[in-house]
Structure 1
Amino acid sequence: MEFIPGNENIDHKILFWINKEFLMFGIAKKITKKLNCKTYAIIDTNDYIKSFYEEQKTVDFDKTWFFNDFLSLEKLSPDYEYLKSFEKKYDIDLWYVISFERLFSSEFNKYYKFTKNEILSFVINECKLFEKILSEVKPTVIILPAVTRHFTYLLHKMATKLGIRSLLLEYTHFGDRNIITDEFGKMVDNKKYENLVSISNRNFEELQKYFSDYKPYVYGIKNNTIHKERKVSKVLALLKFLFNSDNKHKNHYSTYGKNKSSILIKGNARLSLLTRKLRSNFIDKNFLGDIPNKTNYVYFPMLHFIQIKNL
């Protein structure tokens, strides 16, 4: 396959990062059918889905690691010498990486406030796990979903430093369309595509309509309509939440501080709607609605991580 670098005689080793979505698992299935290679997977998922991957026979991975199994807060005295040597070895500023992890932000995470030692303990476990896997597997290529979390960014940077190619599924502004790139956080260089022969016969007007149909806002409304849950499904989900045990996800890093009472108090959907209404009223009352034609201004929209990384 063209995306795999190197000589065809080399035994390719592909390391996949598989998250809660099944897209990466589907990609792994397709690749293993088309390419004779060894496949490995780091699986980041909750306990409900973990059992599926433990039992599935669809993709015969040579080895898998369940990411959450290696994360622990038991050791709360970080090894600063290890962190220092790691940063030097891979040319990575770990605090920069940590700074854009939303779970470590008290503004985003309303359930649990991680201490500095807890954060560093997590990061040390991640670094050591990735070093172990990369040393053991020596992958030809790593295939990652869109990098929106600190640990996938960390793995990508480590692989790049070691000369291992990593391929990323990056978001576009066309609905659910993605691009495959090996350059995280860089603007697309249009010169790379100037000599490509188009396989589309659409004219300019058709392309404009395509762009309009797949605007994120339009596609988002369409997608929400398609996947809108019926009321009975919501009621069943609520009953399952109320009467099932809290222990199923208690060790998962993303659920620290979460239990039934905290979710009902802090994560209630109606409370979120009320907060949204209050914010909307504040914006309507205090923000400019009309800008005079002759006024010079700079438009600076609210940014999230996916946009910030391209600045």
Structure 2
Amino acid sequence: MKDKIIIWENGSFFPFILCNSLKEYSNFDFYAVIDTTNRRKTFFENQQIIKFNKTWFYHDHIFPHKDEIDVNYLAEFEKKYGINLWVLAQNERLFNRQYNDYYKFSTSEILAILESECKLFEKILDEVKPDFFITIETALHHHHLFYLLCRTKGVKVLMLNQSKFGYKCIISQELHKLDFANTLSPKSPNRNFDELQKYLKSFDMLKQLIDHKNTFLSSKKEKIKAAIQFLLISNNTNIKTHYSYYGRNKIKVLIKEIIYSLKTKYRENFINKNFKRKIDDSVPFIYFTLHQEPERVTLIGAPYFTNQLETVRHILKSLPVGYKLLVKEHPTQSIRGWRSVSYYEQLLNLPNLDLMHPSVNSDELLKKSSLVVTVSGSSGLEAAFYGKPSVIFSDLGYSILPSVFRVKSLEELPQIIKTALQQKVDASYLDSYVELLDQNSFDFDWFGFITSYHNLFYYGGYLADVDIPLEKMEFFIKEHKSTFDRISQEYLKKIAQLKNNT
């Protein structure tokens, strides 16, 4: 009997192209949930590259304007699967007015969407009974809901996610966590901190992110072409059929884009004038890294710590006397137009805090700090390479390191910080974790891949609702064939591993 694979395809084309490679090496039945815009939908309806046994177009099954909500069904769903629906909904950027000012969703609309999704996803999984679910990192609530339901129903997940080292990826059932790696033993002999830092720099995650920032949404020519497409050619039917497009009429989008551009420049000028560029280490400091926002790393990864301003305040309240807090803006926040000036002003007005410019060297901050605190980022791991302990607010793979302390309750934070400050980092444990991560990862520039498909299909990332010509897709598949042939072997190895550990 052939294994059944179901994929979630949302426009990255990674799962789609991966299936094309997998079919060359093994025999699977393929199914697909496709979250796509109306113009892209035509490609998936007509393509013959992958012969899916069945496909479901997500937005065809979602009904936000129901007269009555089956609250009893939703309550039973939560009880049956242990999934908290309001956690997903409250942290959905589309439902949050902080991030989406095009449309205000009512409670009944959100519940109607959740009801439609739950019934659809249950029906799909009960009908297909898939063995494996292939997906990239979940980012929006409905994608993550389908993932959680797969996990609950025993479907083995093959999630591609960025390793904590640059230009490398892993395949795992949980984001950023290695499967079957719950404990860590010290390595002997082991590399020292200097040798480990050289390894870290050879796979520089920050460099990869900055390279992506400098190439994504960077072409003025593509921006103009996208604007012409959207304003003059597109009929913009998504505004009626996709709740994610509600309120986005052409005039409103144009006006908001102009305002957004002006705000971004104003905010950048404020940053340049008011943020510190020199590290003052005359007083011992604890280093906190802001996350890009909105982003999955907090909205899904740390759902109860999404307000980073409040988190900073809690850290300040928890500092031992004799320490101050240095907070650094994330360099890639520029992609989101930076944060509001009022947000920055609130940080600047907090006592015992230095707000650092995004251009300040992160390595120097790590070296000179006494402790690193992050909600859910890689800086907590990077701290260990410089012999510094860290405090995190979410369940991350590297939390198995003895020098990493997780906060589950804010009341614990003052004592956790005091304990962490006394912790010595053992290079032998770090080397063991690095080796473990290296053994389970493979070379793949995920952010480079993102840039490549946005440049070819999406006008450099400026327009999502586009036609996908078959010849363009065939060219893209051919261009990336050797990469996907190699990656497909990693997936086949992972499938075998999960089968052997059932």
Scaled to the shorter chain, the TM-score interval is 0.7 to 0.9
Aligned partner of 2:249 in structure 1 is 259
Q: 1:133 to 1:57 in 2, by over 3 A?
A: same
Aligned partner of 2:266 in structure 1 is 278
Aligned partner of 2:19 in structure 1 is 28
**Structure 2 Cα separation of the partners of residues 140 and 68 of structure 1:** 24
For the residue of structure 2 that corresponds to 1:73, the secondary structure is: coil
Aligned partner of 2:88 in structure 1 is 97
Shift of the alpha carbon at 1:258? 0.5
Amino acid at match of 2:169: N
* Unmatched 5+ stretches in structure 2: 188-194, 302-375, 377-393, 395-502
| Aligned with 1:78 (options 69, 78, 87) | 69
2:161/2:176 contact within 8 Å kept: no
1:78/1:121 contact within 8 Å kept: yes
Aligned partner of 2:444 in structure 1 is none
Shift of the alpha carbon at 1:219? 2.4
Aligned partner of 2:335 in structure 1 is none
Aligned partner of 1:116 in structure 2 is 107
For the residue of structure 1 that corresponds to 2:74, the secondary structure is: helix
For the residue of structure 2 that corresponds to 1:13, the secondary structure is: strand
Aligned: 1:240 with 2:229: yes
> For 1:57-110, what per-residue CA distance to the aligned partner results, in whole angstroms no more than 9, with x for missing partners?
000100000011111223043211011000000001111111221111101112
1:101/1:149 contact within 8 Å kept: yes
For the residue of structure 2 that corresponds to 1:75, the secondary structure is: coil
CA RMSD in angstroms comes to: 2.9
Matches within 5 A, 1:90-169: 90-169=81-160
2:133/2:158 contact within 8 Å kept: yes
Shift of the alpha carbon at 1:129? 0.4
Q: 1:243 to 1:11 in 2, by over 3 A?
A: same
**Structure 1 Cα separation of the partners of residues 49 and 41 of structure 2:** 15
Aligned partner of 2:280 in structure 1 is 292
Q: 1:155 to 1:228 in 2, by over 3 A?
A: same
2:63/2:113 contact within 8 Å kept: yes
| Aligned with 2:211 (options 208, 219, 228) | 219
Runs of 4+ in 1 over 6 A off after TM superposition: 192-195, 203-206
For the residue of structure 2 that corresponds to 1:298, the secondary structure is: strand
**Structure 2 Cα separation of the partners of residues 194 and 240 of structure 1:** 57
**Structure 1 Cα separation of the partners of residues 167 and 95 of structure 2:** 28
1:147/1:170 contact within 8 Å kept: no
For the residue of structure 2 that corresponds to 1:239, the secondary structure is: helix
**Structure 2 Cα separation of the partners of residues 243 and 166 of structure 1:** 42
For the residue of structure 1 that corresponds to 2:159, the secondary structure is: strand
| Aligned with 2:297 (options 285, 290, 307) | 307
Shift of the alpha carbon at 1:248? 2.4
Amino acid at match of 1:297: F
1:144/1:152 contact within 8 Å kept: no
Q: 1:76 to 1:277 in 2, by over 3 A?
A: farther
Shift of the alpha carbon at 1:31? 1.5
| Aligned with 2:202 (options 210, 217, 226) | 210
State the identity %. 36
Shift of the alpha carbon at 1:208? 5.2
| Farther off after superposition, 100-109 or 299-308 | 299-308
**Structure 2 Cα separation of the partners of residues 278 and 182 of structure 1:** 42
1:19/1:43 contact within 8 Å kept: yes
Aligned partner of 2:331 in structure 1 is none
**Structure 1 Cα separation of the partners of residues 106 and 185 of structure 2:** 46
Please give the TM-score of this superposition, normalised by the length of structure 1: 0.82
For the residue of structure 1 that corresponds to 2:55, the secondary structure is: strand
Amino acid at match of 2:46: E
**Structure 2 Cα separation of the partners of residues 286 and 213 of structure 1:** 27
**Structure 1 Cα separation of the partners of residues 227 and 134 of structure 2:** 36
1:175/1:219 contact within 8 Å kept: no
Amino acid at match of 1:73: P
Q: 1:256 to 1:221 in 2, by over 3 A?
A: closer
Amino acid at match of 1:133: I
Please give the TM-score of this superposition, normalised by the length of structure 2: 0.53
Shift of the alpha carbon at 1:119? 0.8
**Structure 2 Cα separation of the partners of residues 281 and 247 of structure 1:** 35
For the residue of structure 2 that corresponds to 1:103, the secondary structure is: coil
Amino acid at match of 1:211: F
**Structure 2 Cα separation of the partners of residues 239 and 292 of structure 1:** 49
Amino acid at match of 1:69: D
* Unmatched 5+ stretches in structure 1: 1-9, 196-202
Shift of the alpha carbon at 1:272? 2.2
| Aligned with 1:54 (options 45, 48, 69) | 45
**Structure 1 Cα separation of the partners of residues 183 and 207 of structure 2:** 24
Relative contact order (alpha carbons < 8 A, sep ≥ 6): 1 or 2 greater?
2
**Structure 2 Cα separation of the partners of residues 186 and 53 of structure 1:** 32
1:166/1:182 contact within 8 Å kept: yes
2:11/2:35 contact within 8 Å kept: yes
Q: 1:187 to 1:11 in 2, by over 3 A?
A: closer
